């Protein structure tokens, strides 16, 4: 990627996470990025485009990493374990981005809405695929793979964010163990 575009992305993530997209001004982003205000508009149509490009970019990176990491893993159970781990690591590393994402994803009508939905769908579908596979192989017993996939994402997403917001850091190991255990074996003794 163009290095200046990347500089802008990094500055935007930081600011958006701290103050929200609407609470952040283009001027602040340009200052954080160390470029002129006008330069933002050379790389992005407008603020909306910057926000949605950033969201797409992040989702794509996350989906990419997950796809790459589960490659070669055989059982659906092991794949799920890896997915949880990779996601938590991603959240820990890019917690600014993840806060931004959680906040802005459930967004309101904007010109890029469809585009975003598609990207997010990609990400959900990967996890859904693993669950379907597990069902076929008789490893898993879920009736509705979509509910199961979104549930898993929800568990990881909210616990990670909860830790980040209330304790200051994502406790990857602790969360991973517990989440995997609950998701795979349930709470019942």
Partner DNA sequence: TATGAATGAGAATTCATTCAT
Partner DNA sequence: AATGAATGAATTCTCATTCAT
Whats the size of the chain, residue-wise? 189
> Do 72 and 82 meet the contact criterion of CB atoms below 8 Å apart?
no
Of the residues 10, 18, 41, 105, which one makes contact with DNA according to CB under 7 A: 41
Nearer to DNA, 28 or 132 (CB): 28
* Separation CA 37–CA 39 (nearest Å): 5
CB of 110 to a copy of itself, least distance (A): 9
How many CB atoms sit inside 10 A of residue 93's CB? 12
35 binds, among a copy of itself, DNA, none (CB under 5 to 8 A by kind): DNA
How many CB atoms sit inside 10 A of residue 5's CB? 15
Part of the chain binding DNA (CB under 7 A), chosen from 25-33, 80-88, 90-98, 118-126: 25-33
Number of residues that bind DNA (CB under 7 A): 16
Q: Using the rule CB under 7 A, is 4 a contact of DNA? A: yes
Of the residues 6, 20, 36, 165, which one makes contact with DNA according to CB under 7 A: 36
> Do 29 and 65 meet the contact criterion of CB atoms below 8 Å apart?
no
């Amino acid at each position: 990627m163009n290095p200046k575009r990347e500089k802008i992305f990094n500055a935007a993530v930081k600011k958006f996470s701290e103050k929200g997209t609407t609470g952040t001004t283009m001027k602040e982003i340009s200052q954080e990025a160390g470029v002129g205000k006008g330069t933002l508009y050379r790389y992005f149509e407008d603020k909306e485009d910057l926000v949605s490009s950033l969201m797409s970019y992040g989702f794509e990176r996350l989906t990419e990493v997950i796809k790459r990491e589960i490659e070669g893993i055989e059982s659906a159970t092991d794949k799920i374990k890896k997915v949880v781990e990779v996601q938590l690591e991603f959240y820990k590393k890019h917690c600014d981005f993840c806060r931004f994402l959680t906040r802005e994803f459930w967004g309101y009508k904007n010109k890029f809405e469809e585009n975003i939905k598609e990207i997010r769908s990609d990400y959900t579908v990967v996890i859904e695929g693993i669950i379907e596979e597990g069902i076929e192989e008789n490893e898993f017993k879920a009736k509705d793979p979509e509910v199961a996939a979104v549930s898993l994402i929800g568990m990881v997403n909210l616990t990670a964010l909860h830790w980040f917001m209330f304790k200051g850091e994502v406790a990857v190991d602790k969360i991973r163990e517990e989440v995997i255990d609950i998701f795979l074996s349930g709470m019942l003794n």
